[in-house]
Structure 1
Amino acid sequence: MKTEISLKSGQPWSRLFQDQKLKHQLLESVLPEYIADRRWFAGKSSTIKHVLFDFILPVVAGKKTYYLVVLEVIFEESFVHHYFLTLGFWTDTDNPPKPRSIIHPIQIQNREGWLVEAIYQTDFLTFLFTQLKSGRSLKMDNGTLVFDRGSLLKKDKSESVTAHLLDVDQSNTSVIFNDKYFLKLFRRLFRDPNPDVEMVHFLTEKNNFKHTPKYAGSISWSRPGTYDLSLGLMQEKLENEGNAWAWMLKRVHRFFEKLHERNENVGHIQDIPLFSPMKISKISNKLVDLVNYDTLKSISLLARRTAEMHIMLSSDTTNTHFNPVYFNSDFAVWLKNRLIYQFDQRYNLLERNIDLLSGRAKAYAEAFMQSKTLIINEILGFDENRLAGRRIRIHGDYHLGQILVRDNDFYILDFEGEPESTIRDRKVKQTPLKDVAGLFRSFHYAVYATIFDPSAGWTMSEEALFEAGEKYWRCLVSVFMHTYLKLAFNNQLSIGYKPEIDYLLKYNLLEKAIYELGYELQGRPEMAVIPLQGIMQLLNIQFKPS
């Protein structure tokens, strides 16, 4: 190495963190700079004030020592995050490590090398898999590194280990082992078990739900008298044809292509009222042909898988983490406070960024802002006394991107919940109709992403495109609801009667659209038109395009 190395220690690597000067250097600049540049760092819009070591766990893989490190990141805005790193020492200067793995050049005693993320080193990954497969936990002075082995991994008789790190930008880090298992290492940690671990374990290990990849194992840090930290989740790897978002976009695009090819009069297409359950056989032949019969059958199957998930999640009446509960005033207060905070944040964000919008998006934004009182009243109008259904643990961030397509069937992924929510909020029991509403918003997104796609070259008027898109969307919703409600009622999934169902769907569609608005304004302001349009439609807000 020819560059000057500023990070040096006289301690051997196995006692690195006894060097207080080096620890100070790591915390002051090296590690804050490294994590701030990672895709999984969730504090990019905030300012780091301090970084501390929450804990440092040395583990030995073969003859090498690695460190599992949790950083406590304190922000100027007075909140705290925790992040998980794996540290290794790369000394082969003739064969430098991958650039993405490098944290900083370092000199340990007289050896030069790099401080790297250990997940890029094969022997460290082999260590993780071997520990999971054996189910052997590691007891340490202040706790236990728990490697929980699921029934799937207990049946594995393989002796060799191959590991492939998915070196792509994600909110977590993923590794494929033996082309059979998928390990997700959580990067941002929470002061409670991760809901992804809890939900996958409950659905597939305890209840044999077949439409989520099976639980294979998990890694956690357990200490007596305090919370457990989930570090990783391993599941079976499912071969698949991609996610349902890409699957849906192709079908929406084909619908609009048919309209153009046939010069279809949109006004003559059947218009199904929103939230009206309907069998495919009751829909007009023209609409079925335009939407495609196989697409509608697939939507019905997706409704079945969604209902089966919710029925399973409501099945345990003794486990307090999963037993169904009634709506009550505590939940109503929590919900309204959360949504008002979210709405205020979106309103202020929109106010600051409205000049980034133009045309229809700006007109929608202005109408949204003028309707502030109406929207607040809609949020605060939630009345738990009108609701007879039950609340259960739900997916919480359910959309087409969280669903895999395989052999003309669907498999549900990623139960971590909404990224913006606290870990406790993600575990609050809610109506399963919130998941249904999330999926309906995802259908809606696919429709309008296709309409607003500049490369599509649609020649129909915008008014005709919107009318056709709404008829397509309501057709999907009606077919989905027919299958979902039939299964729910036949299996005693308590979601209330039809007026309650319609109310909760509308309320949760509004909540989801407001949530989406913040996401788009912060990352893709040109797409803010889609959630804004959804809000306009739900509340029948009139607007005048500029």
Structure 2
Amino acid sequence: MTHTLEALLAGWITGQRWFAGKSRAISELAVESATPLPLRDPEEILHNAVAGSSRTTDAAARPRTRGQVSVRHVVITVRQGDTTDRYQLLVGFRPELPQRLRHVAIGLTDEGHAYDAVHDADVTGVLLSAIAGDADVGPLRFRHMPGTEIDTSARSLVLGGEQSNTSLVFGDAYICKLFRKLIPGVNPEVEVVSALARRGSRNIARPYGWIEADVAGQNTTLAFTQEFLPTASDGWSLALTSVRDLYGSLPGTPCCDAGGDFAAESHRLGIATANLHRQLADAFPTSTIEAPEVKRMVEGFRRRLDSAIAEVPKLSAYAGSAHEAFDRLSDMGRPITVQRVHGDYHLGQVMRTPNEWVVLDFEGEPGQPLSERRALDSPLRDVAGMLRSFEYAARHLLFGRADAGALEPCAAEWAARNRAAFIAGYSAGGGRIHGDDAVLLRALELSKAAYEVVYEARNRPAWLPIPLAAFTHAAA
């Protein structure tokens, strides 16, 4: 029995990790656009599925089958009550699904078996080829970064673990991120990374191209392709290795003597962060927030704190230190320099290559409007995010351990050592954290911790002690 694609997608999409509306019923799902993509040889793809390892290109020698492989770029609108969101899909159609694709089946339609084609390496090469060729395919515009060359023979593999996007790795050279939920406008990641690349930044992964289309009357980023870093390690994993080495060392071993001391890398990361902020200030406009605007910013911090206390009453016992920090910032009475920043900066957003720290994911917090993600802010917001990340790296491995209480001083020492090393590196790289800057940094960190309290209460209640501890620390 066949079904319409809309009916199949309405049931299928709720099980996808990147679908944002899992907790709400779908009122309506409609296909807004369905653009056929030009596959290199649809009949050969189908023949290879039937004939196994045979790679003949002689059309006369191929077995005759009903239908052929096709792929469409599909934009759907999903209405859930008063909310309407757009998502993009690559929907493939085959007469029969090979075993390797059955886990991404959508269902049977009059055109054949529909499936999520981002998982089909036989067809995803069309994306790379179109980017390399600056192709226009219906409403889709494929563009490559000037001065780059792309090897279009590489085959793709879907990376696991992502929530809001889907990334395809082509060979060991490229990674193409598809933004599943479409927000009209140019994605900040394309804007920022392209600008930094034109200035020769060493702290980004080289951009190769993007896909765009007009959505709701605005030029909108659909996907972004960058250099893949196969030999790099992410900062979170490296930090956790250091913490595990510390916890596994002999009792009483100082952090600096543990086998996996991370402080030198934290210092280098601080330098790289300062370099990045300087490059962003060169590439984009900067401004200042005058004292009255600073006071309004502080009121926003207070509202976030009050909202967090309303949801997690336990936080009220710790609120005094936050209000004290906010008062100091409000009374500071001087302007604050603002510029483009990363906006969602933590150890999971940085990669250590053999030569340098590289920063990823400049799209900002995915749940926020593009206007907010592109807004100018203090670079110390990124610094505060990284300082919070060191606290998480130090303490989250304690949960479930019988010796957690005995190891807590080690965790505090590791976090303090790496926070200090990062700040020292940031200062050495030209970043400012002096006098009133430390007042702003403290307020930003506590505002971030208030957000974390709510997140942990909702998702990982056992982790609540990590953000709560921020309210008892001395000022950075």
Q: Give the TM-score of the pair, scaled to structure 2.
A: 0.84
**Aligned equivalent of 1:32, options 10, 13, 18:** 10
Give the match for residue 441 of structure 1. Answer: 388
SS in 2 for 1:202: helix
Q: Distance in 2 between matches of 1:537 and 1:179?
A: 43
Instruction: Indicate how the Cα distance of structure 1 residues 32 and 347 shifts in structure 2: closer, same or farther if over 3 A, else same.
Output: farther
Unaligned runs of at least 5 residues, structure 1: 8-21, 265-285, 317-321, 352-365, 490-494, 541-546
1:186 is displaced (CA, Å) by 0.9
CA contact (8 A) 1:298 1:408 kept: no
Give the match for residue 267 of structure 1. Answer: none
CA contact (8 A) 1:395 1:415 kept: yes
CA contact (8 A) 1:239 1:406 kept: no
Q: Distance in 1 between matches of 2:31 and 2:306?
A: 35
Give the match for residue 391 of structure 1. Answer: 338
Deviations for 1:84-106, whole angstroms, at most 9, x for unmatched residues?
1122212126x356233211222
Instruction: Indicate how the Cα distance of structure 1 residues 289 and 82 shifts in structure 2: closer, same or farther if over 3 A, else same.
Output: same
Instruction: Indicate how the Cα distance of structure 1 residues 46 and 378 shifts in structure 2: closer, same or farther if over 3 A, else same.
Output: farther
Is 2:473 the partner of 1:527?
no
SS in 2 for 1:314: helix
Give the match for residue 454 of structure 1. Answer: 400
1:349 is displaced (CA, Å) by 3.9
1:208 is displaced (CA, Å) by 1.4
Q: How do 1:59-78 residues align onto structure 2 when only pairs under 5 Å count? A: 59-62=37-40, 65-76=70-81, 78=82
Is 2:130 the partner of 1:188?
no
2:167 maps to a residue whose letter is: S
Is 2:300 the partner of 1:300?
no
Is 2:242 the partner of 1:237?
no
Q: Distance in 2 between matches of 1:203 and 1:245?
A: 24
Q: Distance in 2 between matches of 1:327 and 1:49?
A: 43
SS in 2 for 1:313: helix
Q: How many residues align?
A: 449
1:173 is displaced (CA, Å) by 1.2
SS in 2 for 1:537: coil
1:91 maps to a residue whose letter is: P
1:184 maps to a residue whose letter is: K
2:183 maps to a residue whose letter is: F
Give the match for residue 513 of structure 1. Answer: 449
Give the match for residue 209 of structure 1. Answer: 201
CA contact (8 A) 2:13 2:19 kept: yes
CA contact (8 A) 2:456 2:464 kept: yes
Instruction: Indicate how the Cα distance of structure 1 residues 394 and 160 shifts in structure 2: closer, same or farther if over 3 A, else same.
Output: same
2:16 maps to a residue whose letter is: R
Instruction: Indicate how the Cα distance of structure 1 residues 103 and 380 shifts in structure 2: closer, same or farther if over 3 A, else same.
Output: farther
2:104 maps to a residue whose letter is: S
Give the match for residue 324 of structure 1. Answer: 286
SS in 2 for 1:160: coil
Q: Distance in 2 between matches of 1:291 and 1:335?
A: 43
Q: Distance in 1 between matches of 2:32 and 2:293?
A: 33
2:274 maps to a residue whose letter is: A
Is 2:3 the partner of 1:41?
no
Instruction: Indicate how the Cα distance of structure 1 residues 188 and 74 shifts in structure 2: closer, same or farther if over 3 A, else same.
Output: same
Q: Distance in 2 between matches of 1:377 and 1:46?
A: 40
SS in 1 for 2:267: helix
Unaligned runs of at least 5 residues, structure 2: 43-68
1:38 is displaced (CA, Å) by 0.7
Deviations for 1:99-155, whole angstroms, at most 9, x for unmatched residues?
3321122233xxxx31112223344312111111112223x4xxx422111146x33
Give the match for residue 164 of structure 1. Answer: 157
Instruction: Indicate how the Cα distance of structure 1 residues 334 and 207 shifts in structure 2: closer, same or farther if over 3 A, else same.
Output: farther
Q: Distance in 2 between matches of 1:46 and 1:408?
A: 46
Q: Distance in 2 between matches of 1:415 and 1:310?
A: 12
Give the match for residue 357 of structure 2. Answer: 410
Instruction: Indicate how the Cα distance of structure 1 residues 194 and 465 shifts in structure 2: closer, same or farther if over 3 A, else same.
Output: same
2:459 maps to a residue whose letter is: G
Is 2:170 the partner of 1:177?
yes
SS in 2 for 1:200: helix
Deviations for 1:439-460, whole angstroms, at most 9, x for unmatched residues?
110111111113x2324x537x
2:103 maps to a residue whose letter is: R
CA contact (8 A) 2:187 2:370 kept: yes
Give the match for residue 90 of structure 1. Answer: 94
SS in 1 for 2:185: coil
Instruction: Indicate how the Cα distance of structure 1 residues 81 and 380 shifts in structure 2: closer, same or farther if over 3 A, else same.
Output: farther
1:196 is displaced (CA, Å) by 1.5
CA contact (8 A) 2:178 2:223 kept: yes
Is 2:67 the partner of 1:105?
no
Q: Give the TM-score of the pair, scaled to structure 1.
A: 0.74
CA contact (8 A) 2:89 2:116 kept: yes
Give the match for residue 155 of structure 1. Answer: 149
Q: Distance in 2 between matches of 1:89 and 1:179?
A: 28
Give the match for residue 125 of structure 2. Answer: 126
Instruction: Indicate how the Cα distance of structure 1 residues 159 and 399 shifts in structure 2: closer, same or farther if over 3 A, else same.
Output: closer
CA contact (8 A) 1:332 1:384 kept: no
SS in 2 for 1:454: coil
CA contact (8 A) 1:510 1:538 kept: no
Q: Distance in 2 between matches of 1:396 and 1:474?
A: 23
CA contact (8 A) 1:386 1:500 kept: no
**Aligned equivalent of 1:289, options 248, 257, 260:** 257
Q: Distance in 2 between matches of 1:332 and 1:48?
A: 42
Give the match for residue 57 of structure 2. Answer: none
**Aligned equivalent of 1:537, options 466, 473, 476:** 473
Give the match for residue 359 of structure 1. Answer: none
